[in-house]
């Protein structure tokens, strides 16, 4: 009959456990750095989407009054700032032609990722979010579609 082989129990701290702890720590830190940027982008998208929805609910009022459209754009900027976008070069737009069946809403801003101890240089992420609403029929039905562009430089 064959003798069972007895292996030594590995030490608590060994190269594999140290490697796993380092990999897990690095992964957690990367998530800690990038998750706020991702969540902020989603919030800005939500604000732009809500503005487009608000416009499509009262399109006649906004299309015929420049002051109402300006007020809607001011509210858009205020909500985006409230959600943590501190970029001084923030661009927002609500574009519509006088007799057009299309209105575009959007925001363009930069978010920065900074690593501690200057491990890597400051990373700029440029986010451009745009929602295009198109009038489908004479019955004032609007269809909105989103497009996003991100670039990390």
Contact by Cβ (8 Å): 108, 88: no
Model confidence, pTM: 0.79
pLDDT tens digits, 12-39 = 888 989 999 999 998 998 888 889 999 9
Residues in Cβ contact with 105 at an 8 Å cutoff, skipping those fewer than 6 apart:
48, 51, 52, 55, 76, 93, 94, 130, 131, 132, 133
Q: Is the pLDDT of residue 151 over 70?
A: no
Beta bridge partners of 123: 113
Tokens of 82: 């409230």
Kindly state the DSSP code that residue 129 receives in the 8-state scheme: E
Q: What is the DSSP string of 71-125?
A: HHHHHHHHHHHHTT---TT-EEEEEE-TT-SEEEEEEEEEEEE--GGGSS--EEE
Q: How many CB atoms lie within 10 A of CB 67?
A: 8
pLDDT tens digits, 89-133 = 999 999 987 677 889 999 999 998 887 777 778 888 899 999 998
Tokens of 54: 């608000």
Virtual torsion, Cα 79, 136, 62, 46, nearest 10 deg: 0
């Amino acid at each position: 009959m064959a003798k069972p082989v007895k292996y030594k129990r590995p030490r608590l701290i060994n190269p594999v456990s140290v490697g796993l702890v380092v990999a897990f720590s690095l992964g957690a830190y990367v998530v800690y750095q990038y998750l706020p940027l991702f969540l902020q982008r989603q919030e800005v998208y939500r604000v732009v989407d809500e503005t487009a929805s608000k416009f499509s609910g009262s399109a006649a009022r906004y299309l015929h009054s420049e002051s109402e459209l300006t007020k809607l754009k001011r509210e858009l900027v205020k909500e985006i700032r409230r959600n943590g976008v501190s970029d001084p070069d923030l661009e927002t737009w609500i574009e519509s032609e006088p007799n057009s069946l299309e209105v575009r809403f959007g925001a363009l801003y930069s978010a920065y990722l900074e690593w501690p101890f200057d491990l890597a240089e400051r990373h700029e992420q440029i986010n451009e979010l745009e929602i295009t609403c198109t009038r489908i029929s004479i019955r004032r039905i609007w269809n909105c579609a989103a497009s996003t562009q991100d670039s990390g430089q």
